Amino acid sequence: MEIYNKNEQKTAGHTMGNFNHETGVYQVVMPYNDHRGGGGNHSHEVPVFARTCGCGKWQNLKIPCSHGIKVLQGRHLDATSYIDPCYNLNNAIHTYSHHFVVPSSESLWRDIRGPQWVPDPQLLRAKGRPMKSRLRNEMDGVQ
């Protein structure tokens, strides 16, 4: 819900661009945003029936992204009902409803029957930082 609320706040700056009501594909345009290092000033395509967005967040998180919310609100739909049911409380409780098996104490573990692994002393690294083979130049700040 926190993600959803943040996304909903972001919709304020978005505007709807071209759209096709029949296919349900909408374009959401983000304004130029100087506060975020020149982010924005781009658009995402939102195939709303597929519950996906060009930004990739809707399909990954199964929560409508800011672009998706903008489109759903534009269509007078309740965007919260597009949050995947996997996030509802009953499903969250169900995830942890099974019994947990507590691992037995390490002293009760059985010995492993198998090959013994011995480290190769030739491959041991020397103490300290490994030697650098890169040549330093003026770009490293060396005068």
Residues lying near Zn ion in the complex (CB under 5 A): 44, 53, 55, 65, 67
User: Parallel, antiparallel, or unpaired for β 25-33 and 39-47?
Assistant: antiparallel
- Torsion angle (degrees, nearest 10) of CA 73, 64, 52, 60: 170
Shortest Å distance, C-beta 7 to Zn ion: 8
Q: How far apart are CA 63 and CA 61, in angstroms?
A: 5
Cβ count near 109 (within 10 Å): 9
Nearer of residues 6 and 94 to Zn ion, judged by Cβ: 6
Nearer of residues 65 and 96 to Zn ion, judged by Cβ: 65
Shortest Å distance, C-beta 58 to Zn ion: 6
Nearer of residues 23 and 59 to Zn ion, judged by Cβ: 59
Shortest Å distance, C-beta 57 to Zn ion: 5
